Chain A
Amino acid sequence: MKQPGSASDPLWYKDAIIYELHVRAFMDSNNDGIGDFQGLIDKLDYVQDLGVTCIWLLPFFPSPLRDDGYDISDYMSVNPSYGTLEDFKRFLEQAHNRNLQVMIELVINHTSDQHSWFQRARHAPKGSPERDFYVWSDTDHLYQGARIIFTDTEKSNWTWDPEAQAYYWHRFFSHQPDLNYDNPQVLEEVLRIMRFWLDMGVDGLRIDAIPYLVERDGTNCENLPETHAVMKRIRKAIDEEYAGRMLLAEANQWPTDVRPYFGDGDECHMAFHFPLMPRIYMALRQEDRLPITDIMAQTPDLPENCQWGIFLRNHDELTLEMVSDDERDYMYLAYSADPRMRINIGIRRRLAPLVDNNRRRIELLNSLLFSFPGTPILYYGDEIGMGDNIYLGDRNGVRTPMQWTADRNAGFSRAIPARLYSPVVMDPVWGYQAVNVESEQSDPSSLLNWMRNMIALRKLFQVFGRGRLTFLHAANRKILAYVREDENEKILCVANLSRFAQPVELKLEAYEGMVPVEMLGYVEFPRIGSKPYPLTIGPYGFLWLELQPAPSVEAGETARALVLQVAGASDWMSILEGNGRREMEETLLKDFLERQRWFGGKSHSIAGVTIEDWAQMEGASWALALVEVVYAAAPPETYLLPMATSFGAAAAALREEHAGSVIAQLASGEEEGVLHDALFDPAAGRALLEILSTGGVLRSRKGLIRGLPASRLASLLDGVDGSPPPRVSSAEQSNTSLLFGDKLILKLFRRQQKGPNPDTEIGRYLTESSQFPNIAPFGGSIERQRDGEEPSTLAMLQGLVRNQGDGWLWTAEELDRYYEACVPQAFPWNALPQARPEVRPGLLELSEMPESEAAREHVGAYLDAASMLGVRTAEMHLALAAPTSEPAFAPVRMSRQDAERLRQEFVDHGGGAFDALKESLSRLPDGVVELAGLVLSRRRQAIDRFLQIPAHDLQVLRTRIHGDYHLGQVLRVKGDFVILDFEGEPARPLEERRTKQPPLKDVAGMMRSFSYAAFAAVNRHTARRPGDFQKLEPWARLWELSATSAFLRGYRERVKGLDLVPAAPAVFEQILAAYLLDKALYELTYELNNRPAWVRIPLSGILALLP
């Protein structure tokens, strides 16, 4: 009967900790000197107590044992030395009862030459199905491209068989003939074997020597497409017939070559990360993190359901196949002084001897193993620091009996020592008298107890198995620092690879405000601020720090301690004046603000918060307040804060569902309630809409708040009454929006600045005065006028536009399809010479370049969209440049002073960007350092480019413009575009955002956005297939050039003959080029501060502009 697997989570292997052991070496129950299944069952409590979750059994099948059991002579039985099939089943049941999964070996590349299939093949006639179970040849010259793996013992991959009168193929020892997967019967037999074990309930299968399954002449006979086809068949059979099982690939290859064994999540679930292991040892010895960060940079992302298997040591040699010759020489010198320690291309030693039995080094390496992305695999005995015996042959020195006690034979067996399958380790340092389980169990400070605690700790944090990894590039390369994170958890890991204490400063701005909590002892560290975070780590020390959100704790504590007494739901005097006001200003508002996503002052230290002004509607349970935040070292800011009170079940629901919106606890007589952000109160949302739509007026303490409906409001309100209660949109960052069904969006501008908000101002102007139709319909606004001051905008109402996504997402999807289609094709250089990097068309040339047939064939309909976007952009500019009596919108000519000021601004911005790049050079990812150097060498050229703008009357028009124009600011709507968000860059002062500027600034913004879209999509694609970068680069250039050209063409044609942009081609080109460069340098500064991994895009953009 088919037994189910033991794990309930189908992704169990992602959280697993695997313990690799050999039945023969673990425990002997019948005193014959050889470990057996009954012995293993007796020791399952030990394995469970260690905390590992999965047992990986090395081959236990009948075998001549000439390769430690990897030479199998019968796949569907148990080697009698280890027990019977019934013993195995009992073991499986006992393991499952302890919630331990079990993985066994599926050696399918080869069999033993004693297997009945091979004996039958030797005697079968040439060409018969029986003979064809293996790979035969009349000559040993076939497959010359295949390397020899066991160089110490084998001289050829072919061996002559006198019986068959032919050569047979073997990638490993000559007694291990390779199976022939060109014979369909072979795969059928393999599937039959697989089902035999999976039916018993085995949870995982390790597929040995996976790259070598299929051979083809003219290749190196590794990783061939036919091999992947075999693996897909095996996986398909598992998925169809079993649940919760796992395939682990053994492919000693580079990560990019292993990546295909995961397929699209439809080959193996796991694969070993072989090259990481030697590099961990290299980094330790060199006291330099580079070997590790270097190999991790070459490690591609995996499909969601896949996982790396990582390890420090295993039953084989520490393989050095995946290192360079120099690195191999270094490793031999560093870790195998005695030549006996070397075998094949590797080092045959256990973990503890490799690091000279230094406890801190062992702990450090295990801390890396447990915190790196992947499932850690422990080799039996390494948890107690077992040694090896380099005087035993092959790799047997690391396969000696487990050392249980200081008794005879290390407690492994009661047999006479001479009968043991292998001598136990007996020397004074590593011998079983000194290193054994029993003594370490009774020693609270033993390595075994340390390992047990670390394993238990790791199991508490799923992020170790499933989260992302980001390296922090600290200046001190002896420190390896990285963050593991997912949606729920963030863990900072810091390791000192040096034998001396090391200082380090970590750039943790992305985690500002969080509190690192040391995970082993639950010790709180100082809060992360805006400056680099200093740490000192002892010799070979490591820290695991859980980054916890601090403000919510403080707020929670405060909320617990403070209860504001009110006399009813509308008693705002008690909250916003008197004692309530004092509590609000001293404690509650600060705590609340720091928890809000829209609060922009998180990076500054708050010196004080005051309620600047407030208003309420008579008898209402909500009020509008403006709070001023004073910082210790930054100008003050004012924020809009609508507040409401709720009691009873409504209050409980708010605490439960929107805990972050709670400002304070309230008490009204016996009733308990909360003071909270009013936007989570549907009544308050409706009241705001009412004020806006009716032109309602509220008197505040210091002025007036009034609704200003727009002419189109009536049509927009149609049907809103019946829509569901307003809800808070989750999309906003710096503001908050309320959605009224799918009809309206009311955007509240949280940070208040004096003067009209440009978004409202332009929205109203384009709707009421110029009739530009391609914007979201403007419904009106709520403004506040403080006595004697210019009005400021509190909120703006717009109609929601049905769309196919914003321009960025829509373009990203188009590009994903484009690259998928392009990858298999050779780039048509002849048809598209303009895509060569050395060909750099000028901007005017670009706008006049006719659309080529080849570009149309590949880029397709997107060209029409880009052209349409050019036209709509021009129309927006024309609408904003139309003659008007409104001073805020009347276009003006750029004066000589304006030109000089612009030139100086460009120079200042550019200089700042180059300084930032220079300062960040040592922290940049290795792959972009050269590019950054090239850009730095163009500093003079860039400044000259700006200085070339002539300081005389340029005949350039300055108008109101969009100001922050890119693909994310437009919506794709039924083959057309709608332009959104005229707020400008929110970080800049309002006055600057309302300044009139040449429209070409917007044109440059959109052109850079095309470039970003093209290369961001390449990044996405190559994250899955790193090898495709070279192939995709010309395709990306083609797309960018074609889209930009179409956009510019559309724009110029629409403004042709109109006085919007400079008529003189040279001035047009000069201004546009300057804006492009300015924008690219702005992007560079932004990426350096926020997303160093993206810095390649602006760097390439700058180089393209400064050839």
Chain B
Amino acid sequence: MAKLELPEETRARVEAAGEADLLIAIPAALRPDQVRAEAERALAHLATTGDYARLRTVVSYPGEAGAANGNEAVPEAESAAGPRFLPYAPPAAQLSAISSISWLAPAATYRFLFNLAAELKVKAMAVAAPDLALLQTNSLGSLVAPTLDGGWDLAMPVYPAGKLEGLLNSSILSPLPRALYGRRVRFPLAQDFAVSARMVSASAQPRSLPSPEAHSLFWPATEAVLRGCKICQVPIGVHRVNAAEGIDLSTVLGLTVGPLFGEMETHAALWQRIRGAEPVGGAGSPAPAPEDGAAADPRSMLETFQLGFRNLQEIWSMVLPQATLLELKRLSRLSAEQFRMPDDLWVRIIYDFALAHRLRTISRGHLLGALTPLYLGWVAAHVLEIGSAYPAEAAQRVERLARAYEDGKPYLLSRWRWPDRFNP
């Protein structure tokens, strides 16, 4: 077999580390000084479950040799059960624009971690977000158990979320891949997940990937579908909200939705074959939804939408068909009390933006900028609709939107395959 793509220095460290059962991989170390302590603590907790007491574990994170508080690059474990630490030099791609959002790492970084895991011949790999919350909340075991013992190839987390949290995920990042790739994964861009040896081996790459991967994101569930791997979801007690705080919304859309649209072009032959969406496997009980913080004010978002309608008509009309524009015009005249964004309208907007992204109808940066007021319009409508609803009702509302994505997929297919502007 061809050698997997790894920097020579890292390869030397891997060879020195030998084989392992579990790799805990951290794509970006925000707090490298804490990695060792948190990992040891989490693994000690994991060992209390009995079955995992003798796991040979390697913890890998970006850093120079000896960066882990002055330890050796690959220190000997203090006991048979103790972890070994393996700092690695981050691939160049990690320095791309994506890294401006702390919790996002480019696909190339994840590919690198898969290669690392493959070289270590692990039975499972857990990818932990750089804030190490996975380790701190003792959720590591919940995530790796299905891949070590349960026969699953990919364990995705289900984070507890308030009804007004994670709206970008609920409105686009979750339902769109679900409709495309046919798996009902709640948090497809999760920062924590675990994979089996089978998926590690299927996803490791013996050669450099084309440069665009430096600017794309890693979607674990999509990768699993591509490789024919089995997916399950596991509720974990890590509460993640407002991860993009301090960054303007257009940038966030550009860095998340943009790569998602890009993936659609790459995997068109795959998603166009898939109809409907299947539930994925599940294990464990969901954590209770946290209380929502202060209620968001939809009025300013509505104003942004209305301003967008006045100023961005020209761009929208290059992307959206007449029927959609007409509906948007009607919406722009509604008061806050009346304002609702129908699911099928929102779905068609997203599908038409995806198509325009593929056709490069306008520059991709401008395109995703033009999506921002529309997204805020959706958020405003959503907040207005579910503001006083029970969490279960809110969850059902999100599920209904996801179904609308599935039902609208033939529209996307017809537009994608024959992108004639002369349409209804």
User: Using a CB–CB distance below 8 Å, which chain A residues touch chain B?
Assistant: 4, 8, 97, 99, 444-445, 453, 456-457, 459-462, 488-489, 519-523, 548, 553, 556-557, 560, 649, 652-653, 655-656, 659
Contact = CB atoms under 8 A, between A and B. Distances in A.
A489 B273 CA distance: 9
B357 to A, nearest CB: 15
Given A457-B417, A653-B281, 5 more contacts: A97-B211, A445-B422, A523-B414, A556-B276, A656-B281
B154 to A, nearest CB: 12
Contacts of B230: 656
A444 to B, nearest CB: 5
B59 interface: no
B283 A649 contact: yes
Q: What are the nearest 4 A-B pairs in CB distance?
A: A652-B281, A522-B413, A522-B414, A460-B269
Given A99-B210, A461-B269, A652 B276 contact: no
A460 B272 contact: yes
Given A522-B410, A652-B280, A460 B268 contact: yes
A336 B283 CA distance: 73
Q: Is the interface of B mostly helix, strand, loop or mixed?
A: loop
Nearest to A459: B269
Contact of A653 (B151, B211, B275, B276): B151
B407 to A, nearest CB: 10
Contacts of A519: 417
Given A522-B414, A522-B417, A649-B283, A659 B278 contact: yes
A446 to B, nearest CB: 12
A553 B275 contact: yes
24 contacts: A99-B210, A453-B419, A459-B269, A460-B269, A460-B417, A461-B269, A489-B273, A520-B417, A521-B417, A521-B418, A522-B410, A522-B413, A522-B417, A548-B275, A553-B276, A557-B276, A560-B276, A649-B281, A649-B282, A649-B283, A652-B281, A653-B151, A656-B230, A659-B278
B290 interface: no
A457 to B, nearest CB: 6
Contacts of B281: 649, 652-653, 655-656
Nearest to B2: A243
Contacts of B150: 649
B279 interface: yes
A875 to B, nearest CB: 49
B248 interface: no
Interface in B202-219: 207, 210-211
A1038 to B, nearest CB: 49
Contacts of A649: 150, 281-283
Q: Which of B272, B280, B417 has its CB near the most chain A CB atoms (within 10 A)?
A: B417
A461 B268 CA distance: 10
A649 B282 CA distance: 7
Contact of A520 (B151, B282, B418): B418
B310 interface: no
Contacts of B420: 444-445
Contact of A462 (B268, B269, B278): B269
B161 to A, nearest CB: 20
Contacts of A489: 273
Contact of B417 (A445, A453, A556, A659): A453
Contact of A655 (B207, B211, B268, B278): B278
B421 A652 contact: no
A951 to B, nearest CB: 61
Contacts of B417: 453, 456-457, 460, 519-522
B232 interface: yes
Contacts of A4: 207
Interface of B: 150-151, 207, 210-211, 230, 232, 268-269, 272-273, 275-276, 278-283, 410, 413-414, 417-422
A372 B230 CA distance: 36
Given A99-B210, A460-B272, A652-B282, A444 B421 contact: yes
A453 B150 CA distance: 45
A489 B281 CA distance: 27
Contacts of A655: 278-279, 281
A444 B211 CA distance: 31
Contacts of A521: 414, 417-418
Contacts of A560: 276
A553 B275 CA distance: 8
B322 to A, nearest CB: 15
B115 to A, nearest CB: 16
A548 B276 CA distance: 13
Contacts of A97: 210-211
B364 to A, nearest CB: 15
A652 B279 contact: yes
Nearest to A523: B414
B356 to A, nearest CB: 14
A1024 to B, nearest CB: 31
Contacts of A457: 417-418
A488 B269 CA distance: 12
Contacts of A548: 275
A656 B182 CA distance: 12
A209 B421 CA distance: 46
Q: Which of A444, A462, A522, A560 has its CB near the most chain B CB atoms (within 10 A)?
A: A522
A460 B232 CA distance: 29
A99 B272 CA distance: 22
A656 B281 CA distance: 8
A620 to B, nearest CB: 25
Q: Which of A8, A523, A553 has its CB near the most chain B CB atoms (within 10 A)?
A: A8
A806 to B, nearest CB: 31
A905 B422 CA distance: 64
A238 B180 CA distance: 40
Contacts of A488: 273
Contacts of A453: 417-419
A522 B275 CA distance: 12
A488 B422 CA distance: 33
A81 B279 CA distance: 62
A89 to B, nearest CB: 19
B231 to A, nearest CB: 8
B403 to A, nearest CB: 9
Q: Which of A97, A453, A489 has its CB near the most chain B CB atoms (within 10 A)?
A: A453
A1011 to B, nearest CB: 42
Contacts of B275: 548, 553, 556
A523 B415 CA distance: 11
A516 to B, nearest CB: 14
Nearest to A657: B230
A521 B280 CA distance: 30
B232 A652 contact: yes
A6 B210 CA distance: 10
B317 to A, nearest CB: 15
A569 to B, nearest CB: 18
A1014 B158 CA distance: 61
Nearest to B210: A99
A444 B410 contact: no
Nearest to B419: A453
Contacts of A656: 230, 278, 280-281
A661 to B, nearest CB: 14
Contacts of A444: 420-422
B257 to A, nearest CB: 22
Contacts of B276: 553, 556-557, 560
Contacts of A99: 210
Nearest to A488: B273
Nearest to B271: A460
Q: Which of B151, B207, B283, B420 has its CB near the most chain A CB atoms (within 10 A)?
A: B420
A1004 B283 CA distance: 60
Contacts of B280: 652, 656
A748 B5 CA distance: 52
A35 B420 CA distance: 34
A548 B28 CA distance: 44
Contacts of A445: 420, 422
A453 B415 CA distance: 11
A99 B265 CA distance: 14
